[in-house]
Structure 1
C-alpha cells in the first residue's frame, strides 16, 4: 500500500476520473469498474506517478463522453491502491478518498484528462461545544434508527461512535447513505464541518421519514394480502366441514344449477342464451370468492331478470281509455282526442310502429301524468326515466363490463324494473340532454326511438341485442329547440299549453 498523503502532498496537476452515478468522499474505500479508455488511461497515469487521482462526478450521468463543462468542479483526491484487469477488458481499481480539491482549469493531454487542482483543506478544528456534541449525537441516533431499513453494515455504528470530528462524521455517514447525486455533491462542496453535519442530519431525517412510510405501506399491503388469503383458506375449511357434516351441501353446485334453471326459464333468444351459457361456464371454472366471479354473477343476475319474453296483454278499449283520461285530466280535449286517435291506430294495426309521442309544454301542465294515464288505459306497466342533465352516452347504452362497477344503461334498467318487454316508457326532460367528451346521449337515443332499429337494441353491458320494438316510448320536453333535428324527426309532437 502506498504511504499516507496529506493536503500539502497534493500536486498542482492530477489526472481526472469522471464518475457517473455517485460521489466519493474522503476516507471512503471502494472499487471502481472502468471501461472507458479515458478513465483507464487516467488510472494508469496515476499508477505511473504518485498514485493520486482526482475523482469528479458528472452533472449528467447519461453522457458517455463528458466534456470539462459536464464535470462538477469540486471532487475528491484519491489514492489508487491496486488495479485488476478483467477478461472482458474492464479494469477494477480500488481507491481510497483522501481530501477535497477544486478544479482550476484543464490541461491538454492525451489520452487521459488532466486538470490543475487546488486542495480544499478542512477549516481549523473548532473547540468542543454543546451544540456540536448534540448534533453529533442526533446523527448517531438517526443512523441507528435507519440501520434496519437501509441494510447498512453493522460496523457503521461502531465507527460513528468512535468518530469525534464533525466533518469526518458527516463524510462517513454520507458515504453510506446512497444519496442522490445532487445531495451528495452538495455535501461534498460544503467545507464547514458543522454546517456539513447539519445538512447530513437533515438528509437523515428525510430518509428516515420516507423509509418509515415505505415500511408502513409494505406492512399494510402484506396484512391485506394475508387477511385475504386467510379468508379464502377459512372459507374452504368451512365448506369441507359442512360437507363432512352433511349440513352445507354442495353450495357451489347448487348455485350453478340455480343459474341453469333461471337461464332456461328466462325465454332468451338464441344469441342471449349462448352468451349467458358461456358466462355460466366461466363462472364454474372461477374461484368462487374471486373478483371475476362476482362480475360474472352480477351479469348473470341481470340477464336472467330481464323480461325477454314477458309482455303485458294490451287492453285497447277506446271507451275505457276515454273514461280513464277524463277521470285523470279535466279539459285537454284536443290532447285526449289525439291520444285516442293514436291508440285507435294501434288497435287496428297490432304491429303498428308509428312515431313516438312527444309532449311539449311548460312544467306542471300534466305531461308525465298523461303518460301514466295512457299506461293505465292500455293495461301496461309505466316506467319514467329522467334524462335531465345526462351527458354520458353510457347512461343510455350502458358501461362495458371491463370497467369496475359496470351496469346496464337506463333503458335496460327501466325494462328490468318494469318486468315486461312492452311497458309505457316515458323519457322525461328529453330537451335537457347534454353532450361532452364522454359522448352524446341524444345520438344513442336515435337507436332507441327508431322503430326500424330498436328491435335489436345493443346495450354495451349486455353485449347482446334486446328487442324494444314492443315498448311504447313517450318523450316529454319543455322546449323543442334544444332537441337535435334527427331525434325530433322520430317523434310526433303534441303541444300542451300552460
Structure 2
C-alpha cells in the first residue's frame, strides 16, 4: 500500500488499537488483527489509501476498542503488507512514520479521529548534544549490568544523529511499563524528555547494582 506520507495534518484517519506492543515511529512491526473494529479500521485505511494511527490500550484495558480504554497518542504509519492467516486473524506489516495525537474523536466501529503529528520543542543544539552524551554514557553503564542493550543496539544508539530517535531506541529497549512509556512518548519538550530518560536509566543502574550486590552476598 503506497500513500502520500506528506498528507496534510491534522486530518481524519482510522485508528487500530494494539493491546501488547508499545510502538515507536522507527519500527517496522508485524501486527496480528482479529477483532472486528481493528479489521474495519484496516480496510478503511486500505480503501482510502490513508495513513493509520496505532495506539496502545491503557493498563488493565486489554481488548478495549473505545476511546475511554485507549491512550490518545500513538504512531502514524502505513500498511506495507496484509496476509490473511488460517486461524482467521490478519497479519499486517506496519511501518511507523511519526508520532500522532488524537485531537478529536470522529467515529466508532471502526475508531476514527482527527489526528495531528506531535510537535516537539527542541532545546539548543549545544544543550541537546550535551544531554545525548550523558544519556549514551548512562546507557553504556547500564548495559554492563543488564541485557537491555545488545551490542548492535548500542552501536545504533551511538551512531544515530537524531536525538528523538535515540530517545525512542532507548525507551523501546528498556521495556518500560506502559504508563511510563506513554509519559515519555508524549513529552513534547525534548529537553525534559532527555532529562527524564537519563534519570530513569540512572535509577535502573542503581537497582541493578543493588541486585548484583545482594546476589554476591547470597552466593558468598
Considering the TM-score relative to the shorter chain, is it more than 0.5? Answer: yes
> Which residue matches 2:141?
145
Change in CA separation of 1:11 and 1:203 when aligned onto 2, cut-off 3 Å? same
The residue matched to 1:150 in structure 2 has which SS?
Answer: coil
Q: Is the 8 A contact 1:20 1:60 kept in 2?
A: no
Displacement of 1:59: 1.8
Residues 377-432 of structure 1, C-alpha deviation per residue, up to 9 Å, x if partnerless?
A: xxxxxxxxxxxxxxxxxxxxxxxxxxxxxxxxxxxxxxxxxxxxxxxxxxxxxxxx
Q: Is the 8 A contact 1:136 1:166 kept in 2?
A: yes
> Which residue matches 2:154?
157
Q: Of 202, 206, 229, which aligns to 2:203?
A: 206
Structure 2 counterparts to residues 69-88 of structure 1, below 5 A: 69-88=68-87
Displacement of 1:202: 1.4
> Which residue matches 1:118?
116
Q: Distance in 1 between matches of 2:4 and 2:211?
A: 43
> Which residue matches 2:185?
188
> Which residue matches 2:132?
136
> Which residue matches 2:104?
105
Displacement of 1:76: 1.9
Residues 325-357 of structure 1, C-alpha deviation per residue, up to 9 Å, x if partnerless?
A: xxxxxxxxxxxxxxxxxxxxxxxxxxxxxxxxx
Displacement of 1:43: 2.2
Displacement of 1:216: 3.4
Change in CA separation of 1:167 and 1:21 when aligned onto 2, cut-off 3 Å? same
> Which residue matches 1:469?
none
The residue matched to 1:215 in structure 2 has which SS?
Answer: helix
Displacement of 1:158: 1.8
* Larger helix percent: 1
In the alignment, is residue 167 of structure 1 matched against residue 164 of structure 2?
A: yes
Change in CA separation of 1:181 and 1:56 when aligned onto 2, cut-off 3 Å? same
Residues 47-85 of structure 1, C-alpha deviation per residue, up to 9 Å, x if partnerless?
A: 233351111222234442332122222222122222332
Change in CA separation of 1:2 and 1:198 when aligned onto 2, cut-off 3 Å? farther
Change in CA separation of 1:51 and 1:208 when aligned onto 2, cut-off 3 Å? farther
Q: Is the 8 A contact 2:123 2:190 kept in 1?
A: no
The residue matched to 2:125 in structure 1 has which SS?
Answer: coil
Displacement of 1:178: 0.7
Higher mean C-alpha deviation, range 62-71 or range 173-182: 62-71
The residue matched to 2:87 in structure 1 has which SS?
Answer: coil
Displacement of 1:219: 4.2
Q: Which has the larger radius of gyration?
A: 1
> Which residue matches 1:216?
213
Residues 249-297 of structure 1, C-alpha deviation per residue, up to 9 Å, x if partnerless?
A: xxxxxxxxxxxxxxxxxxxxxxxxxxxxxxxxxxxxxxxxxxxxxxxxx
> Which residue matches 1:12?
11
Give structure 1 stretches of 5+ with no counterpart: 225-498
> Which residue matches 1:27?
26
The residue matched to 1:87 in structure 2 has which SS?
Answer: coil
Displacement of 1:11: 5.9
Instruction: Please give the TM-score of this superposition, normalised by the length of structure 1.
Output: 0.40
Structure 2 counterparts to residues 400-415 of structure 1, below 5 A: none
Structure 2 counterparts to residues 41-440 of structure 1, below 5 A: 41-50=40-49, 52-110=51-109, 112-123=110-121, 126-129=123-126, 131-148=127-144, 149-221=146-218, 223=219
* Greater relative CO (CA pairs within 8 A, separation 6+): 2
Q: Distance in 2 between matches of 1:86 and 1:147?
A: 38
Residues 289-314 of structure 1, C-alpha deviation per residue, up to 9 Å, x if partnerless?
A: xxxxxxxxxxxxxxxxxxxxxxxxxx
Q: Distance in 2 between matches of 1:90 and 1:219?
A: 47
The residue matched to 1:92 in structure 2 has which SS?
Answer: strand
Count of matched residue positions in the alignment of Structure 1 and Structure 2:
219
Change in CA separation of 1:133 and 1:90 when aligned onto 2, cut-off 3 Å? same
Change in CA separation of 1:61 and 1:90 when aligned onto 2, cut-off 3 Å? farther
Cα RMSD (Å): 2.5
The residue matched to 2:88 in structure 1 has which SS?
Answer: coil
Q: Distance in 1 between matches of 2:60 and 2:175?
A: 15
